[in-house]
Amino acid sequence: MELIMAVLAGLLFTAGVYLLLQRQVLKIVFGTALLSHGAHLLILTMGKLNRGQPPILEKGIEHYADPLPQALILTSIVISFGVTSFLLVLAYRAYKTNKTDNMEQLRGSDHD
Amino acid sequence: MTNLITLPILIPLIAGTLFVFWRKKLPFVRMGTQIITIINLIVTAFITFLVVQNGPIILETGGWVAPYGIILVGDALSLSLLLTTNVIAVAAAFYAPFSLDRGREEHYFYTFFLILIAGVSGAFLTGDIFNLFVFFEVLLMASYGMIVLGGTRQQLRESIKYVLLNLFSSILFVTTVSFLYSVTGTVNMAQLSERVGQVNQEGILTTIAILFFVVFATKGALFPLYFWMPHAYAKPPAVISALFGALLTKVGIYSILRVFTLIFNGNIDYTHSFFITLAGFTLIFGVIGAMSTNNIKLIIAYNIIPAIGFMIMGIGIFTDVSLAGSVYYLVHDMIIKGALFLLVGAIAIVAGTSDLRKISGLIKNYPLLGWLFFIATVTLAGLPPFSGFIGKLLLLKGAFENGHYVIAAIGLITSLLILVSVMRIFINGFWGVSMELPKEKRSIKPLYVPITFLLIFSVVLGIGAEWFLPHIQQIGVDLMNPSVYVDAVLKE
């Protein structure tokens, strides 16, 4: 199970990096979303997957799911949700103002 | 009593949130922000006093014992940086009303500003590496808000790159933390230090260490990851540039300082000698950038890079003297970069342009501005008796004692070039034929107050070195000996 999850996270990272290297701003935003999904899956996998076990340590229970990665993922998901929505608005506003969504044309120079 | 340590985070956070509701009542919000920053400075000074007297303050939030819950650690290093942060916050709060236009002020500048301070304070205080990520995000979110404020064409163009790059490095941060968690089974820094030490930092842990370094180097604008920084920092108004230049990159450097003295100190031959090489390149390329432009704000923004190089050099040499040098330089640079950005902001206001070729002879009309800029310049370059000198002295002493002659030579040459690059602003801008000033003359008298305030701290830090130096040297000794931190947190 860990292997499948690791491969899946790897695939998400690959697709995310590919999209990051595109020129269109919207594709780049999707790329960052995929990357953060990959990172979240990775956190879950790194905590060792115990299916169907409670995330509680009590007397008598020997198998339990690690609660820490779940707490970490929750925090991280909320943050990436906020940043992605901000980025979408920023990308739209930059497109309206600069009249282009092509990163090649968004290069800066001192003259403008 | 240990709950005191939450105040530097909570005061600005709560105040910033409340000010959202009164955004149109500018006089109230301005004054409120100024009072809040002063209160915060006094509280932080009090906590620093307690820490210097009685040793580190550790707060276990929610009553969870150290390795399990989230902890806040206020040791001498954190508190000295926190105190510096709040000094800059006070100066910025008094500068902002005169440098920003009404639109920016009304659109929540003061909220973003206070939340930024809360995030920076949290990052300095946390003792948990995942919590460090969370506070990084808090301060980054506030900085995203600030950098787009106003929404001019160039600002939006640069802020897309800024946000994307920081987002990418944040994702890398989370990924690296999850790797570290899978290897060590903890995110508490003190316990990480113990566990990594127990296995002598095996190969996989060194790999993770380098990943952490890449994350922090991106945030801290180190060679070759600084390309995003100068333009993004130079485009917004001066007070925002000052906050970014003084605080944001320095949080990255603090993280490197903390993580690579406390946790990853087992494979110094590999990691730390790598830092020295990078420090050399950072020094050279940063100062070349500073020499290459005629935009006064950009010159100061590029000057952040060689300063980062000096700090990394101290971490790379890794002795108690050089680490003390890094810490001293960090404190000095936060104050002086804040002051310089505020100064060039004032110059841009009186001259009506930030193109150095169009500015000349300002000293006739604005003598005080000229002399303040001169003091800031010599402080930055590290001429005695100002504060830059002490930091560089410690760093170079560390370098020579350990036979790192090449980096010491690069450091000395770079210092000279830094002086040239900033003195260029003084010579071209203040000397020569008096330029035609813009028709509507604006009084900049209120701007002198925060600038002088920062410069006084900088000068005191240099002339009063006798008084500060023992404390900073103690920080250096403690950093070399991670068991001090570990024992304080885990109470063994």
At residue A82, the pLDDT reads: 93
User: Best mutation site among B178, B208, B299, B357 for testing chain A: the one with the most A CBs within 10 Å?
Assistant: B178
Judged by DSSP in three states, B405 sits in helix
pLDDT of res. B131:
94
**Min Cα–Cα distance to chain A from B290, Å:** 14
Q: What percent of chain A has pLDDT over 70?
A: 96
Which of A39, A82, A112 faces B171 most closely, judged by CB atoms? A39
Over 50: is that where the pLDDT of B410 sits? yes
CA dihedral A84, A86, A87, A91 (to 10 degrees): 140
Please determine, for residue B169, whether its predicted confidence score (pLDDT) is greater than 90.
yes
Phi, psi of B212 (to 5 degrees): -60, -40
Classify each residue of B186-204 as buried b or exposed e, where b means 16 or more C-beta atoms within 10 Å of its C-beta.
bbbbbbbbbbbbeeebeee
The Cβ of residue A8 has, within 10 Å, a number of other Cβ atoms equal to: 15
Instruction: Give B247's contacts (C-beta < 8 A, 6+ positions apart).
Output: B85, B88, B116, B120, B139, B334
Distance from CA of A52 to the nearest CA of B (A): 20
Q: Which of residues 270-299 of B touch A (CB under 8 A)?
A: 293-295, 298
Write the single-letter amino acid at B90: V
Distance from CA of A47 to the nearest CA of B (A): 6
**Model pLDDT for residues B232-286, shown as the tens digit of each residue:** 898 899 999 999 999 999 999 999 999 999 999 888 888 888 999 999 999 999 9
Percent of chain B with pLDDT strictly greater than 70:
99
With a cut of 0.90, is the ipTM above it?
Answer: yes
Which chain A residues are within 8 Å of B68, Cβ to Cβ? none
Nearby residues of B148 by Cβ (< 8 Å), 6 or more positions away:
A90, A93, B155, B156, B159
* pLDDT for B166 beyond 80: yes
pLDDT at A112: 47
Residue A28's pLDDT band (cuts 50, 70, 90):
very high
Please give, rounded to a whole number of angstroms, the shortest distance from the CA of B168 to a CA of chain A. Answer: 7
Residue found under tokens 């009685």: B54
Cβ–Cβ gap B171/A32 under 8 Å: yes
Instruction: Indicate yes or no: CB of B167 within 8 angstroms of CB of A93.
Output: no
For residue A31, what pLDDT is reported?
95
Considering only alpha carbons, which residue of chain A is nearest residue B156? A94
Q: Name the one residue in this structure whose structure tokens are 């001259």.
A: B351
Chain B nearest CA to A61, separation (Å): 19
Buried b / exposed e along B461-489 (16+ C-beta atoms within 10 A): bbeebeebeeebbebbebbbebebbbebb
Contact list in A for residue B182 (CB cut-off 8 A) is 46-48
Q: Is the peptide bond before B385 cis (omega within 30 degrees of 0)?
A: yes
Predicted local distance difference test score (pLDDT) of residue B431: 87
Q: Best of B156, B293, B356 to disrupt the A interface by mutation (most A CBs within 10 Å)?
A: B156
Q: What was the pLDDT predicted at A39?
A: 94
Quick check: A87 and B167 CB within 8 A?
Answer: yes
Any chain B CB within 8 A of the CB of A6? no
* Residue B356's pLDDT band (cuts 50, 70, 90): confident
Put simply, the answer to whether A91 touches B153 (Cβ < 8 Å) is no
Q: Do A90 and B178 touch (CB under 8 A)?
A: no
B50-88 pLDDT per residue, tens: 999 988 999 988 888 878 888 999 999 999 999 999 999
Mutate which of A79, A105, A109 to test chain B, going by most B C-beta atoms within 10 A? A79
Nearest CB partner across the interface for A112, out of B154, B167, B293:
B154
Render pLDDT for A46-91 as a digit per residue (tens, 0 to 9). Answer: 877 877 777 777 777 777 788 888 889 999 999 999 999 999 999 9
Lowest-confidence range among A99-108, B201-210, B259-268, B310-319?
Answer: A99-108
Residues of B whose CB is below 8 A from A93? 148, 151, 156
Q: How confident is the model at residue A103 (pLDDT cuts 50, 70, 90)?
A: confident
Tokens 């919207």 correspond to A26
CB-based contact (8 Å) between A108 and chain B? yes
Q: pLDDT digits over B2-11, tens only?
A: 889 999 999 9
Using one digit for the tens of pLDDT, what is the confidence trace for B431-462? 888 877 776 667 788 899 999 999 999 989 88
Residues of B within 8 A of A48 (CB-CB) are 182
Of B137, B154, B178, the CB nearest to A79: B137
What secondary structure letter does DSSP report for B128?
B
**Which residues face A102 on adjacent strands?**
A24
Identify which of A46, A86, A108 has the shortest CB distance to residue B154: A108
Which pLDDT value is given to residue B138? 94
DSSP structure class, residue B435: P
Nearest residue to B252 via CA among B234, B228, B270 = B228
How far is it, in rounded angstroms, from Cα B236 to Cα B113? Answer: 14
pLDDT higher than threshold 90 for residue A38: yes
The verdict on A28 touching B (C-beta cutoff 8 Å) is yes
Q: Which two tokens stand for residue A83?
A: 């940043």
Q: Tens digits of per-residue pLDDT, B81-136?
A: 999 999 999 999 999 998 888 888 889 999 999 999 999 999 999 999 999 999 99
From B163, B171, B293, residue closest to A87, measured CB to CB = B163
Q: Closest Cα of chain A to B298: distance in Å? A: 10
Q: Evaluate whether A42 touches B178 at the Cβ level (below 8 Å).
A: yes
Residues of B with CB below 8 A from A36's CB? Answer: 171, 174
The DSSP-derived string for B189-257 is HHHHHHHHHHTT--HHHHHHHHHHHHHHHHHHT-TTS-TTHHHHHHSS-HHHHHHIIIIIHHHHHHHHH
Residue B74 sits at φ, ψ, to 5 deg, of -105, 95
- pLDDT value for A111: 47
B200 phi-psi bin (left φ>0, alpha ψ -120 to 50, beta other) = left
The average pLDDT across B407-414 equals 93
Choices 1.20.120.790, 3.40.1160.10, 3.30.70.141, 1.10.287.3510: CATH for A2-51+64-103 = 1.10.287.3510
Q: Is B20 exposed, middle or buried (0-12, 13-18, 19+ CB in 10 A)?
A: exposed
CB of B94 within 8 A of CB of B339?
no
User: A107-112 long-range CB contacts below 8 Å, 24 or more apart?
Assistant: A108/B154, A108/B157, A108/B158, A108/B231, A110/B293, A110/B294, A110/B295, A110/B298, A112/B153, A112/B154
| pLDDT score at A109 | 60
Q: What pLDDT does A108 receive?
A: 65
User: Rounded to an integer, what distance in angstroms lies between the CA atom of residue B459 and that of residue B376?
Assistant: 9
Q: Tell me the pLDDT of chain A averaged across its residues.
A: 87
**pLDDT computed for residue A66 by the predictor:** 82
Question: B337 pLDDT exceeds 80?
Answer: yes
